[in-house]
């Protein structure tokens, strides 16, 4: 195990202690670290420390908070104290006296015996860990006199020298004194940009960081040796709160606690319950009277409010407050939402085109024409009777809204839109990298996770027990094989469960359709399809939402048992598993309707049965595209509405209400605590902990799939996604600003694995839309009929061409309708949708040559469409450069300017050295010009002529 000796303050012989006697430890003075614990006394302490934002002295800012639980007796309220590690006095003095109230508390412990070993162990681990933090240079202050019973807080402050040291270690780019002019557009482009700025001024947030900049400070990785390069006139604001908390968190991760024979960083201590929480503080309150201006309040007003939904996001301020990783998420979400605007407009135009041409659509007019008198074969055995095709008129007319030539154009457009969106995001990402000084940033290997270290320790102990070498142990594939096997079996089982549920819904649809067909009321029989489709889709929606939550938990558990080494590996594996399970869960019902329903039904007299009793479902006469549209729209809209309103708004508010009721109950027990004003860290402790960006990204990625994968069947999908995202941005913003603890800022230069998933969905969308147009819609059969079989070059006769004939005398025994005279006349020939030979043919009911002609055309269309659209997408990808030209010029300019700065510095040093050499030479000559006698009498001073101090 790696133990950071630099930050360990324990002697070697004390690192093997397991069970610790409290009094013995205190007697030998073990818990007295190099720092001293002093009382923080102040006349008005809460006002001095701005209610928790500063230490008790009101000068040192709180950069991070550690929270722990402790047992306190009923009489111990008066013994609560606020103590701190004072770094300035810690290095020079040692405290031999116990803490105020501490000895009394232990005597009570001896009399009441209320403290157990586990609590003592946690307490001494905390003391050792906090001592190591002080050794690392941090300053601590403890507060147990809080309104929350049994909860203590450790406030952490990073002094200037620690911030400088860690900024150098982390290679943080900081702004230098050097400023340069950003290249501006000239001529016509400048006028166009100024006009655009004036037009968009009302929708710009009123934030200083959002204003266009004409000058920029040159950035350089911080170095203590080159502090003169940086503008350190205001040291308090040189490192902002986000940077300070990031630096402290890095120290917390690498500082160890070696009490129990193994290394423990903050992640391990949190996992083992030594600390219950660790988080940076919010900048202050965001609402209320007399609230001091702060970034959190500004974000709440200009970003996390539904009243500013029409404005751009203040992305730079979001990055300044939450860090680059969260800033990139909201920037990506903003770009995606903007790109949905043209897609929504084109989708509305395609939908309106379908509405305008509905009355001109010849196939639907033929289906609705009562004079055609087309009698269709029964939809189920025995209980269903013959029916008129004109009864499906409404479905046929509605299907034209989405099944028309414009949908083919829209599919091509959306494929190119997806490629353009990805390229636009790459360019936006590069602009942000330049603006946020992330150019050249490379992620370093993260610290091992607590679970990984525990597993390695367990493996090391096993080898120690067997007297084997334990140098540099790590987990191999053999150690992880049981977890890999569990993952494989678990994922296969979950996918199988999803298929089984979809199959169950299919059985429900078939049995419900048969049951409703027996209905004595004509209205019940006429609305069979609508009733069955609507109820089945609602069942699918409920199941999808429930399984989404279940699969999210299962994916996390499967990832945890793999024990990935770093947080980045853990996140990538979790994303892959969660996306795979949720993708299958969300799209399996839609894939069934699009590609399987109505494909394997057989024909009258020779139907395919499930369990020898249920006939497979058939598509409506107008095709399955209308049903696919219904399925897609209900699942997409229902998922967005329920997840947004119930999960993202309702559940957090419910948790908040439960916490409020618990605190209210505690306050009623202690009126004295209730009267005190809450500190900032107490208020933040009551907020929800940040759980990562994976759920936010996952929701948007699944939505991106709905928008692109089956867009040929639902052109309005981009519009509904746009409306959802306008609300989603403000909803997520409000959650981050008001309902979550402030997350630790994480540096990142891209959105990681999500970009690859988006690209994969974009490629898959081309293939799926090609198959939807070709096999689910009637677009290809219409083209084949128009150019191969139409007598007059029109679509007249198309419906009759797609229907085959069946002689009712060929029904299998027991499958003919119970009421053959339901239509009022005897039926001898009924029609069904398929390409088969008629009953009077020699090869009756065999597949006809028309079927093979249509199939060949469908396959040809898939190949041509797929290759053409992918070529166009790749062409768009190639023609649009990933890095904007002006940004590449600015990056090059920064490099040149940085070289000039260092060249000038070197020249200055050389000139200074030359000056010193000249002075040294002249001084030497003056010494040599003295008389020999004087020289002998002052021989001791000769050397001083050549050794005067130089202040470099």
Q: Which of 112-126, 371-385, 596-610, 773-787 has the highest mean pLDDT?
A: 773-787
Q: Is the pLDDT of residue 582 over 70?
A: yes
Section 242-252 average pLDDT: 91
Environment class of 227 (CB within 10 Å of its CB; exposed 0-12, middle 13-18, buried 19+): exposed
Token readout for 390 is 């004109």
C-alpha distance across the termini of the chain, in Å: 43
Going by C-alpha positions, the residue among 830, 837, 775, 786 that lies closest to residue 806 is 830
With contact defined as beta carbons under 8 Å apart, do 146 and 679 qualify?
Answer: yes
Cβ neighbours of residue 252 under 8 Å, at least 6 residues apart? 64, 133, 156, 265, 266, 278
Rounded CA gap, 232 and 238, in Å? 7
Q: Is the pLDDT of residue 513 over 70?
A: yes
DSSP string, 664-676: HHHHHH-HHHHTS
Q: Is the pLDDT of residue 191 over 80?
A: yes
Quote the pLDDT of residue 469.
Answer: 54
Q: Is the pLDDT of residue 338 over 80?
A: yes
Rounded CA gap, 56 and 327, in Å? 33
Q: 5 falls in which pLDDT band (50, 70, 90)?
A: very low
Q: Is the pLDDT of residue 12 over 70?
A: no
Q: 525 falls in which pLDDT band (50, 70, 90)?
A: low
Section 870-888 average pLDDT: 87
Quote the pLDDT of residue 584.
Answer: 92
Q: Which of 347-351, 658-662, 769-773 has the lowest mean pLDDT?
A: 658-662
Quote the pLDDT of residue 201.
Answer: 83
CB atoms within 10 A of CB 695: 15
DSSP string, 332-345: HHHHHHHHHHHHHH
For the chain, give the percent of residues with pLDDT over 70. 81
Q: 249 falls in which pLDDT band (50, 70, 90)?
A: very high
Rounded CA gap, 544 and 536, in Å? 12
Cβ neighbours of residue 566 under 8 Å, at least 6 residues apart? 445, 446, 447, 448, 449, 452
Quote the pLDDT of residue 424.
Answer: 92
For the chain, give the percent of residues with pLDDT over 90. 21
With contact defined as beta carbons under 8 Å apart, do 810 and 604 qualify?
Answer: yes
What is the sign, positive or negative, of the torsion defined by CA atoms of 191, 197, 198, 200? positive
Q: pLDDT tens across 102-114, in order?
A: 333 433 444 444 4
Section 556-561 average pLDDT: 90
Section 308-327 average pLDDT: 91
Going by C-alpha positions, the residue among 734, 665, 741, 656 that lies closest to residue 276 is 741
Section 627-640 average pLDDT: 86
Q: pLDDT tens across 652-664, in order?
A: 777 777 777 776 6
Q: Which of 328-342, 365-379, 671-685 has the lowest mean pLDDT?
A: 671-685
CA-only gyration radius of the chain, Å: 37
Q: pLDDT tens across 736-746, in order?
A: 998 899 999 98
DSSP string, 75-137: GGGGG--EEEEEHHHHTT----SPPTTHHHHHHHHHHH----HHHHHHHHHHHHHHHHHHHTT
Q: pLDDT tens across 297-306, in order?
A: 899 988 988 8
Region of residue 204 (left: phi > 0; alpha: psi -120 to 50; beta: else): beta
Q: Is the pLDDT of residue 1 over 50?
A: no
Q: 948 falls in which pLDDT band (50, 70, 90)?
A: very low
With contact defined as beta carbons under 8 Å apart, do 549 and 427 qualify?
Answer: no
Q: Is the pLDDT of residue 937 over 50?
A: no
Quote the pLDDT of residue 466.
Answer: 64
What is the sign, positive or negative, of the torsion defined by CA atoms of 102, 103, 104, 110? positive
Section 706-710 average pLDDT: 90
Rounded CA gap, 377 and 388, in Å? 9
Section 173-199 average pLDDT: 81
What is the H or E stretch that residue 513 is in? helix 477-517
Q: Which of 15-29, 456-470, 605-619 has the lowest mean pLDDT?
A: 15-29
Section 420-439 average pLDDT: 90
CA angle 562, 567, 569 (to 5 degrees): 55
Going by C-alpha positions, the residue among 291, 335, 329 that lies closest to residue 312 is 335
DSSP conformational letter for 713: T
Q: Which of 115-119, 228-232, 651-655 has the lowest mean pLDDT?
A: 115-119
Mean pLDDT of the chain: 79
Cβ neighbours of residue 69 under 8 Å, at least 6 residues apart? 150, 151, 152, 273, 276
Cβ neighbours of residue 103 under 8 Å, at least 6 residues apart? none
Quote the pLDDT of residue 229.
Answer: 85
Rounded CA gap, 85 and 159, in Å? 13
DSSP string, 546-594: HHHHHHHHHHHHHHHHH--SBHHHHHHHHHHHHHHHHHHHHHHHHHIII
Q: Is the pLDDT of residue 96 over 50?
A: no
With contact defined as beta carbons under 8 Å apart, do 734 and 304 qualify?
Answer: yes
Q: pLDDT tens across 154-165, in order?
A: 999 999 999 999
Q: 458 falls in which pLDDT band (50, 70, 90)?
A: confident
Section 392-410 average pLDDT: 84
Q: Is the pLDDT of residue 358 over 50?
A: yes
């Amino acid at each position: 195990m790696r133990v950071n000796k630099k930050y360990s303050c324990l002697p070697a012989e004390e690192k093997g202690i397991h069970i610790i006697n409290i009094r013995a430890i205190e007697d030998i003075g073990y818990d007295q670290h190099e720092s001293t614990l002093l009382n923080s006394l102040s006349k008005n302490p809460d006002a001095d420390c701005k209610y928790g934002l500063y230490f008790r002295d009101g000068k040192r800012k709180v950069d991070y908070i550690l929270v722990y639980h402790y047992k306190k007796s009923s009489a111990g309220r008066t013994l609560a104290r606020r103590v701190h590690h004072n770094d300035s006095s810690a290095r020079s003095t040692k405290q031999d006296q116990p803490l105020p109230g501490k000895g009394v508390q232990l005597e009570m412990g001896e009399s009441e015996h209320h403290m157990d070993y586990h609590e003592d162990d946690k307490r001494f681990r905390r003391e050792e860990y906090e001592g190591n933090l002080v050794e690392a240079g941090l300053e601590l202050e403890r507060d147990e006199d809080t309104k929350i019973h049994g909860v203590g807080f450790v406030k952490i402050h990073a002094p200037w020298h620690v911030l400088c040291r860690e900024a150098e270690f982390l290679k943080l780019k900081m702004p230098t004194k050097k400023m340069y002019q950003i290249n501006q557009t000239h001529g016509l482009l400048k006028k166009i940009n100024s006009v655009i700025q004036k037009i968009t001024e009302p929708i710009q947030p009123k934030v200083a960081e959002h204003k266009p900049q004409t000058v920029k400070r040159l950035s350089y990785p911080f170095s203590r040796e080159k502090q003169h390069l940086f503008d350190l006139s205001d040291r308090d604001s040189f490192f902002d709160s986000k940077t300070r908390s990031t630096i402290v968190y890095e120290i917390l991760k690498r500082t160890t606690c070696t009490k129990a024979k193994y290394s423990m960083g903050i992640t391990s201590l949190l996992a083992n319950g030594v600390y219950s929480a660790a988080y940076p503080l919010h900048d202050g309150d965001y609402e209320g009277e007399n609230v001091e201006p702060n970034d959190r309040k500004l974000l709440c007003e200009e970003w996390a409010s539904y009243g500013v939904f029409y404005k751009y996001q203040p992305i730079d301020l979001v990055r300044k407050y939450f860090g680059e990783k969260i800033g990139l998420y909201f920037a990506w979400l903003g770009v995606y939402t903007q790109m949905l605007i043209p897609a929504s407009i084109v989708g509305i135009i395609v939908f309106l085109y379908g509405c305008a041409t509905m009355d001109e659509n010849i196939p639907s007019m033929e289906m609705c024409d009562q004079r055609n008198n087309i009698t269709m074969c029964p939809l189920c055995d025995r209980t269903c009777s013959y029916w008129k095709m004109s009864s499906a008129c409404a479905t046929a007319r509605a299907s034209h809204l989405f099944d028309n030539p414009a949908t083919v154009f829209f599919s091509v457009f959306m494929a190119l839109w997806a490629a353009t969106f990805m390229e636009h995001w790459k360019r936006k990402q590069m602009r942000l990298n330049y603006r946020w000084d992330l150019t050249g940033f490379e992620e370093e290997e993260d610290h091992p996770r607590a679970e990984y270290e525990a597993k390695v320790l367990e493996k090391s102990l096993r080898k120690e027990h067997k007297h084997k070498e334990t140098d540099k142990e790590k987990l191999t594939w053999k150690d992880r094989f049981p977890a890999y096997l569990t993952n494989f079996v678990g994922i296969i089982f979950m996918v199988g469960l999803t298929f089984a549920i979809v199959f169950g819904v299919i059985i429900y649809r078939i049995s419900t359709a048969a049951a409703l067909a027996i209905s004595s009321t004509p209205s019940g029989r006429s609305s069979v399809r609508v009733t069955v489709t609507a109820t089945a889709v609602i069942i699918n929606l409920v199941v999808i939402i429930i399984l989404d939550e279940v699969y999210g938990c299962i994916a996390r558990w499967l990832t945890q048992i793999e024990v990935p080494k770093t947080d980045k590996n853990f996140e990538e594996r979790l994303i892959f598993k969660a996306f795979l399970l949720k993708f299958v869960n969300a799209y399996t019902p839609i894939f069934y309707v699009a590609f399987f329903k109505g494909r394997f039904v057989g024909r009258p007299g020779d139907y395919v049965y499930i369990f020898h009793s249920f006939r497979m479902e058939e598509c409506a006469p107008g095709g399955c595209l209308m049903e696919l549209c219904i399925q897609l729209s209900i699942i997409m809209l229902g998922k967005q509405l329920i997840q947004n309103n119930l999960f993202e708004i309702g559940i957090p508010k419910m948790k908040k209400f439960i916490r409020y009721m618990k605190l209210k109950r505690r306050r009623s027990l202690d009126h004295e605590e209730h009267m005190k004003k809450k500190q900032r860290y107490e208020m933040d402790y009551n907020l929800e902990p940040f759980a990562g960006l994976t759920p936010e990204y996952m929701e948007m990625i699944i939505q991106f799939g709905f928008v692109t994968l089956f867009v040929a069947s639902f052109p309005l999908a981009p519009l509904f996604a746009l409306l959802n995202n306008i609300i989603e941005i403000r909803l997520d913003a409000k959650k981050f600003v008001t309902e979550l603890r402030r997350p630790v800022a994480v540096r990142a230069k891209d959105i990681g694995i999500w970009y690859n998933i988006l690209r994969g969905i974009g490629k898959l969308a081309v293939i799926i839309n090609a198959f939807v147009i070709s096999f689910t819609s009637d677009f290809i059969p219409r083209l084949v009929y128009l150019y191969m079989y139409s007598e007059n070059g029109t679509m007249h006769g198309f419906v009759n061409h797609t229907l085959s004939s069946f002689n009712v005398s060929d029904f299998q025994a027991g499958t003919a309708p119970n009421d053959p005279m339901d239509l009022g006349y005897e039926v001898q020939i009924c029609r069904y949708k398929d390409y088969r030979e008629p009953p009077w043919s020699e090869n009756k009911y065999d597949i006809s040559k028309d079927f093979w002609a249509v199939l060949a055309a469908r396959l040809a269309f898939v190949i041509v469409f797929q290759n053409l659209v992918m070529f166009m997408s790749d062409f768009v990808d190639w023609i649009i450069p990933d890095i904007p030209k002006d940004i590449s010029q600015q990056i090059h300019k920064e490099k040149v300017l940085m070289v000039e700065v260092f060249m000038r510095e070197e020249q200055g040093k050389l000139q200074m050295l030359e000056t010193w050499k000249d002075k040294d030479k002249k001084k030497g000559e003056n010494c040599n010009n003295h008389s020999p006698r004087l020289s002998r009498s002052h021989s001791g001073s000769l050397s001083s002529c050549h050794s005067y101090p130089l202040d470099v």
